[in-house]
Amino acid sequence: MNANADGKILVAGASRGIGLATAKMLLKRGYGVIASSRNIDVLKEAFASDENVEIIACDFSDVDSIANFAERVNKEAGPIDGLVYTAGMQLTMPISMNKPDNVKKIFALNTFAPIELIRCFAKKKMTAEKGASFVLISSLSAHEGSIGQSLYGATKGALEGFLAPASAELAARNIRLNVVTPGMVLTDMSLGFMKNLSAEKRENIESSYPLGLGAPEDAASLIHWLLSPESKWATGQSYIIDGGHMVRG
């Protein structure tokens, strides 16, 4: 990795969607990127033409493996200047199917993994001496009722509950923690969700966004700002970016 990069950012879930868009934007703007997801072949293909990127695979659903992953990142890339956790999954199902196995599965990837990642990288040796910025991704599903989204919304609501006390504690170590809460962004995950809806329901969703549905780059721009020194006074906040969805008349 280029020692002259503006900073080293770990992007967890960098193979697609918001994570991929964020990693590409960071690289374009002079950052070094540690790109991680479960499938190393997909990562290699996604970043084949990019310089200043280091690829380190991790299956974040295996929460117990994250501590070893963090140590490997530190050994191979040194202290980081920031991280963003964009990995996640969505289970759309009625409450009657919220069985323990499904609950454990979605909470492991969406909630337990990012909390464990922050625990590991909050250690002094893991971040740059000047401090660091951590960003988590929530969802409007934690704020509004969407049938079939009770588990997904719960995993994201848990992250927002984690935010205030964790950011207060991390501030003493000069680490900032913020949450980005996007509306409907056109990723593989959201497109898969939309595919199972009727044409009428899809149209209703699309019409509920005055500025249209989002692109991954829309969320990536906000994430970039939160990771950059320009947001040095921002911590403990959840930023909704939703094309006007929540304030529509």
Q: Catalogue the active-site residues.
A: 152
What span, in angstroms and rounded, lies between the C-alpha atoms of 107 and 156?
9
**CATH no. for residue 152?**
3.40.50.720
> Are the CB atoms for 44 and 58 separated by under 8 Å?
no
The whole-number pLDDT of residue 197 equals 79
Closest of 221, 223, 230 to residue 83, by C-alpha: 223
Average pLDDT of the residues in 45-53: 95
pLDDT tens-digit profile of 196-207? 778 888 888 889
Of 59-63, 143-147, 224-228, the poorest mean pLDDT is in 143-147
pLDDT of residue 188: 82
Token digits for 214?
A: 């989002």
pLDDT at 3 over 60: no
Q: What pLDDT, in 10s, does the model give residues 115-136?
A: 999 999 999 999 999 999 999 9
Q: What is the pLDDT of residue 52?
A: 95
Is residue 36 situated within a structural domain?
A: yes
Q: Return the structure tokens found at 222.
A: 């906000």
Give the pLDDT band (50/70/90) at residue 2. Answer: low
Q: Does 209 reside within a domain?
A: yes
> 3-state class of 145 per DSSP?
coil
Is residue 246 assigned to a domain?
Answer: no
What is the average pLDDT score of the chain? 94
Closest CA to 35 of 92, 27, 179: 27
Q: How many domains does the chain have?
A: 1
- Whether residue 33 is predicted with pLDDT greater than 90 in this model: the reply is yes
- Give the least confident one: 2-6, 59-63, 79-83, 192-196: 2-6
**What tens digit of pLDDT does each residue of 195-247 get?**
877 888 888 888 999 999 999 999 999 999 999 999 999 999 999 999 999 99
Full domain range(s) for residue 70: 8-240
Question: Which pLDDT does position 202 carry in this prediction?
Answer: 86
Q: How far is CA 136 from CA 2, 84, 181, 232, in A?
A: 26, 6, 9, 16
* Across 13-33, average pLDDT: 97
Looking up tokens 């040796």 gives 125
Q: Count helices and strands (H / E) in the chain.
A: 9, 7
Residues 6+ apart with CB under 8 A from 58: 12, 36, 37, 38, 65, 66, 69
Residue 1: its pLDDT value, please?
61
Cα gap 229→239, rounded to integer Å: 17
Cα 242 to Cα 36: distance, rounded to the nearest angstrom: 26
| Residue 5 confidence class, pLDDT cut points 50, 70, 90 | low
**Secondary element (H or E) of residue 85:** strand 82-85
**Residue 3: inside a domain:** no
Q: Residue 134: enclosing H or E segment and its boundaries?
A: strand 132-137
- Distance, in Å, from the CA atom of 144 to the CA atom of 141, rounded to the nearest integer, reads 6
Average pLDDT over residues 77-93: 95
Q: Which two tokens stand for residue 237?
A: 């906040």
